[in-house]
Structure 1
Amino acid sequence: MFHLLQSQRRRDAIRFLRDKDEPVEMRDIAEQVTAWENNTTVQALSSSERQHVYIPLYQSHLPKLDEEGVIEYDQSRGTVRKTPFAAQLERYLDVDEESTDEDDVRRWDTYYLSISCVGTFLFLGAALNVPLFALVPGAALIVLVLSAFWIVSV
């Protein structure tokens, strides 16, 4: 599954087919994928830009998706229809879009790094008998730090 999705063009082809229940023209897929790659509209594409994407889709990417059962690709007619397997792959296409929403992004690595730094600071303070830290038993520090990791993990 991930091998199929490693190519941006294959991901874009699947994304294009997401809301299409009927067969679509291969040319329409190629044009939209080209527009996405060039950050422009289909109408603004040049013929060389279209050809640059059309050929690899025609010869490689769409046949690969057909071979794996993601689409039904009639190369001679130039039509493509998604299969039910395509819906299983679609959920992996939204990962990048969701992660760009800065309000929802949680930097878990930052949380874990912060807990590690605070835990290290507490353990060093206790080990060096710093007056404030020496009052807290080592077992309590261990429980505190492990609890913090557990809470972040949950």
Structure 2
Amino acid sequence: MSAAEVHAESAESAETHVVDEDSLDIELSKDKIFHLLQTPRRRHVLRYLKDHEGTIEMRDIAEQVAAWENDITVQELTSDQRQRVYIPLYQSHLPKLDEEGIIEYNQSRGTVTRTEIANQLDRYLSTDDESDNVDDDTDDEIQWEAYYLGISVFSTILLAGSVLGAPVLATLPTVAIGGSIVAMFALVTLAQLASERSEK
């Protein structure tokens, strides 16, 4: 390939990353905004870019998002924690935001720049970060507390029935009743852990 061809290809590649200024006037629909913000990692990316001006290293974004997800500092992150966030951002989330004109993402250089269109998401992002997440977390806690309370009540009934000689329960061995109670608590605990991990 000649030097002229290389230069032409580089120029063409650069043009694909130029944002059409007319696109800055695009008004995003609420459906589009909610679709873009439905993924926690995309919300974290936009939250980070909102507080940092100019061109940002994608690595820095991935590290901060990973730290937020694990509720630790960037310095405390392990290599696996970084990798679990970096790959989805690189392959999916950042290209999606770039496609919608929210950011300029140079995948080959690993850089990200926030565009003016991102301003349209700010008020939804603020609401999501400051209140919706709190409400969601509270709802989840109430849900799991209800499960644990239900098992506690049911376990009390089983034990009381066994001690008082209820027709069916009196025939069951104490070990079977105790084992059932332990198994119920274990299943709910495992379900809660699996739910929390899937949300990450």
TM bucket, shorter chain? 0.5 to 0.7
Q: Is residue 44 from structure 1 mapped to residue 90 from structure 2 by the alignment?
A: no
1:33 corresponds in structure 2 to 65
When the two structures are superposed, what TM-score results if normalisation uses the length of structure 1? 0.63
2:107 corresponds in structure 1 to 75
Choose the corresponding residue for 1:53, options 78, 85, 94. 85
Indicate the SS of the match to 1:91. Answer: helix
| Percent identity (aligned) | 66
Specify every segment of 5 or more residues in structure 1 that has no aligned partner in the other structure, as ranges.
Answer: 102-154
Distance 2:93 2:45 in 1: 9
2:44 corresponds in structure 1 to 12
1:113 corresponds in structure 2 to none
Q: Deviations over 1:65-104 (max 9, x none)?
A: 0000000000000000000011111111121414659xxx
TM-superposed CA distance for 1:2, in Å, is 1.0
Once superposed, what is the RMSD of the aligned Cα atoms?
1.4
**Higher helix content, 1 or 2:** 2
2:140 corresponds in structure 1 to none
2:116 corresponds in structure 1 to 84
Distance 2:90 2:54 in 1: 19
Distance 1:78 1:68 in 2: 18
TM-superposed CA distance for 1:45, in Å, is 0.2
When the two structures are superposed, what TM-score results if normalisation uses the length of structure 2? 0.49
